Amino acid sequence: MKLSKRTLDIVASAVGLLLLSPLLIGVAIWIWIDSGLPVLFFQERVGRKGRPFWLMKFRTMAQAPGRLITVGADPRITRVGHWLRRTKLDELPQLWNVLKGEMSLVGPRPEVAKYVALYSESQRAILEFTPGITDPASLAFGNESELMAEATDPEQLYIAEILPRKLELGLEYARRATWLSDLQLIMKTVIFQGKQAKHRAS
């Protein structure tokens, strides 16, 4: 399983970066024109075995976020940033993280150290798996930002309710995942994000 999953990650991320290079360059230029440099945003996340790494995204905010979660229509989000977040194209640079072996196409979403420090002993089992770009929790909480926007204390809602459920879903899937189930989840993610983008645009 590990060999075939890693092989899928290498092939898919390399091909993806190659085929999507015109789009990646176009988005980078658009961000530069819209709000200047830098076009990429780096954030330290906790990976497999608790090893930290720098997760890459296209920058969607005019300034570095002061808090670690984004709530609703955050005023710091740029014009192009709204579109990138809606379509999830801001996540595409993570294909480089996948190619480097820091992430997988499918796996539990990596968290920042602040929230990992709150994991219970059983929840820390999630760190035995390589984090990914998508997993079942990504689909279950596709409206996470909007959900937290309705809370009086968004971070407390995230810590007390959203994060534990995401960890539960991530662990449940990771323990039984196969390369075939990964392919199916990737397709579901593409379809889901397409529907979400269309819904938010309407």
167-184 pLDDT, tens per residue? 999 999 999 998 889 999
pLDDT in tens, 64-110: 655 666 665 677 889 999 999 888 899 999 999 999 999 999 999 99
73-77, 134-138, 155-159: which range is least confident on average?
73-77
Task: Kindly indicate the confidence band of residue 118, based on its pLDDT and cuts at 50, 70 and 90.
Answer: very high
Assigned token pair, 22? 């015109």
Task: Kindly indicate the confidence band of residue 147, based on its pLDDT and cuts at 50, 70 and 90.
Answer: confident
d(C-alpha 102, C-alpha 113), whole Å? 16
d(C-alpha 168, C-alpha 133), whole Å? 17
Question: Which residue ranges make up each domain of the chain?
Answer: 2-201
Q: Tell me the mean pLDDT in the region 104-128.
A: 97
Average pLDDT over the chain, rounded to an integer = 90
d(C-alpha 38, C-alpha 165), whole Å? 34
Q: What is the reported pTM?
A: 0.90
Output the pLDDT for position 144: 84
Counting residues of the chain whose pLDDT is more than 70, the rounded percentage is 90
Structure-token match 């999953």, residue found: 5
CA distance to 37, 79, 89, 91, 169, per residue, from 130 (Å): 31, 33, 21, 17, 15
- Residues 148 and 72: beta-carbon distance below 8 Å: yes
